[in-house]
Amino acid sequence: MHRYEIAVLKCLEPGKPLSLEQLVEKSGTGRDGVLWAIEGLSKSGAITMARKESESVSLTEEGKLYASSQLPETALIQKLSKKSIEIRTLGDPQSRIGLQWAKTKELIAIEKGIIILTAKGKEAISKGIGEEYVLKKLGENPSLFTMMLKEKKQEVENLLKRKLIVTERRNEITSITINPKGKELLTAETKHEGEIDALDKKAIATRSWKGKKFKAYDINVPVESEIPAKLHPLRRAINSVKDTYTNMGFKEISGPVVIPAFWNFDTLFTPQDHPAREVQDTFYLSNPSQIEILDRKVMGKVKEEHEQAWKSDWLEQVAMQAVLRTQTTTVSIQELYNLSKYKEYKLPLKLFSVGRVFRNENIDYKHLPDFYQTDGIIVGENLTLANLFDTLTKIYKSLGLKVKFKPAYFPFVEPGAEMYAYHEERKEWLEVAGCGMLRREITGIAKKNITVLAWGASVERLLLITDKDIERLPDLYNNGVGWIRSRKTL
């Protein structure tokens, strides 16, 4: 047994129960040590603990505020006793709260935007509001809670619903009594007195353990389970993606979430009347509604390319619209247009990004309106689709996916393709990425005779396929501690 348990048992005599406070004082072990010891001794049947349930009450911060002054509805009806009030003049939060509760309690009526007192309201002014009386009494003396619960049950329940008071149920230990098994354990322990049950710093320093016998440990004794810290599965997946890229020689880049439509669409050769730019597909901001395009030189060249290719006027006002980015390709394209800052870069130049993107999607098992996307580009000479497919196959093989490709259209690549990964549980191929070779209309702006391979892929879909515990993408945004703890992986 532990020394705390021995100390507790030595203080107890058959038929003579002690209170927790008496046991703490008599054992000299400290309250925490005694509580730990009696919990274990009770489970083993060495002692019996008598308990009593009690309930206490305390006021919340909002409750304390009202207890020291008055309820918002009281303040409102007192004002109404002097004059009527227009509802539109109630702008502050306290007045709005008072209006809500006064209306609920039928203390007021509203006629054509004017608040007037009812008969109940007039009576409340003279007699007072029951909840306020209870709140003030409990603020002065919380021990009155039991009496108030009997005499003013409805008022107490209302205060609880309004979260002006909170209750706490306690299970207090009233007495501890030793059982025959406890005496047996103490007798058996006496035979091993002098044996060492734990090595502390002092014993090691003084070498007082030398020549003494160590107590045997029972490895089958049940103990509380230890819960190790765990990363959220989505964070694990992001880290895994980043590690894979960096191990293959890629450099990480990043960019803002709120950007002008210019970087999200125009630089990616998406026409200004393209359906993807419609409100039903893209989240547009109202504050700010527009973001200035600082790189006027790039803007001029983008305008020229659009008007030449799409045979329509290109409008700067449309390009300045503030949006939540729909793809992390915007990060790659800005980096591509700034290649001049890489003064000594060597081809191939390999860059990647991981970040949140936003699309107005209906939520289902494989779609979310807010998700993480990883984007990559390889800048080099004489690169082909074979290089692109080989790179993506290697990346996703290391992440545990079997992939295949099929032709697809995207405004900013030519040729383009979609990448699919096989879902073993569903026995189907799921789209995980779009990819291709950036169009010359885009790479030409950078004044570089280069080829650029590009792709964008969902991180959540990677988990949907590789993690058997994830059946739907919305499951990934379950932040319950219990759910994270129950997962087998760290």
Chain segment 303-362, per-residue pLDDT in tens: 998 999 889 899 999 999 999 999 999 999 988 887 755 556 678 889 999 999 999 888
Same domain, yes or no, for 308 and 363? no
Q: Is 199 among the domain residues?
A: no
In this prediction, residue 223 has a pLDDT band, given cuts at 50, 70 and 90, of low
Same domain, yes or no, for 445 and 345? yes
What is the tens place of the pLDDT at every residue in 112-145?
Answer: 888 888 999 889 888 888 889 999 998 898 888 8
Q: Is 222 among the domain residues?
A: no
Same domain, yes or no, for 341 and 456? yes
396: Cβ contacts below 8 Å, ≥ 6 apart: 403, 419, 421, 432, 462
Query: Average model confidence (pLDDT) for the chain?
Result: 86
Q: pTM of the full predicted structure? A: 0.56
Same domain, yes or no, for 10 and 141? no
CATH code of residue 40: 1.10.10.10
Same domain, yes or no, for 157 and 179? no
Cα separation, 380 vs 384, in Å, equals 10
pLDDT of residue 419: 95
pLDDT of residue 230: 83
Q: Given a cut of 70, is residue 191 above it in pLDDT?
A: no
Same domain, yes or no, for 362 and 282? no
Q: Is 283 among the domain residues?
A: yes
Q: Given a cut of 80, is residue 219 above it in pLDDT?
A: no
Same domain, yes or no, for 332 and 443? yes
CATH code of residue 90: 1.10.10
CATH code of residue 436: 3.30.930.10
Q: Given a cut of 80, is residue 199 above it in pLDDT?
A: no
Q: Is 415 among the domain residues?
A: yes
Average pLDDT for residues 276-300, to the nearest whole number? 87
Burial group, residue 121, by CB count within 10 angstroms (0-12, 13-18, 19+): buried
Structural domain span for residue 42: 3-53+172-187
In this prediction, residue 247 has a pLDDT band, given cuts at 50, 70 and 90, of very high
Burial 61-73 (b: 16+ CB within 10 A, else e): eebeebbeebbbb
Same domain, yes or no, for 103 and 242? no
Q: Given a cut of 70, is residue 181 above it in pLDDT?
A: yes
Could you give the dihedral angle defined by the CA atoms of residues 466, 467, 470 and 475, in that order, rounded to the nearest 10 degrees?
A: -100
Q: Is 198 among the domain residues?
A: no
Which is higher by pLDDT, 445 or 381? 381
pLDDT of residue 306: 92
Burial 76-89 (b: 16+ CB within 10 A, else e): bbeebeeeebeeee
Cα separation, 358 vs 328, in Å, equals 10
Of 70-79, 88-97, 176-185, 450-459, the poorest mean pLDDT is in 88-97
What is the tens place of the pLDDT at every residue in 103-116?
Answer: 888 898 888 888 88
Q: Is 135 among the domain residues?
A: yes
What is the tens place of the pLDDT at every residue in 66-96?
Answer: 998 999 899 889 888 888 888 888 878 888 8
228 CB neighbour count, 10 Å cutoff: 6
Q: Given a cut of 90, is residue 444 above it in pLDDT?
A: no
Tokens 């998700």, located at residue = 371
Q: Is 219 among the domain residues?
A: no
What is the tens place of the pLDDT at every residue in 7-32?
Answer: 888 899 888 898 888 988 988 888 88
What is the tens place of the pLDDT at every residue in 387-406?
Answer: 999 999 999 999 989 999 99
Q: Is 218 among the domain residues?
A: no
Number of domains in the chain: 4
Same domain, yes or no, for 365 and 245? yes
From 324, 343, 359, the end of a domain falls on 324
pLDDT of residue 489: 66
Same domain, yes or no, for 236 and 265? no
pLDDT of residue 255: 92
346 CB neighbour count, 10 Å cutoff: 7
Percent of the chain with pLDDT over 90: 30
What is the tens place of the pLDDT at every residue in 256-275?
Answer: 999 999 999 999 989 998 88
Same domain, yes or no, for 144 and 36? no
Same domain, yes or no, for 262 and 411? no
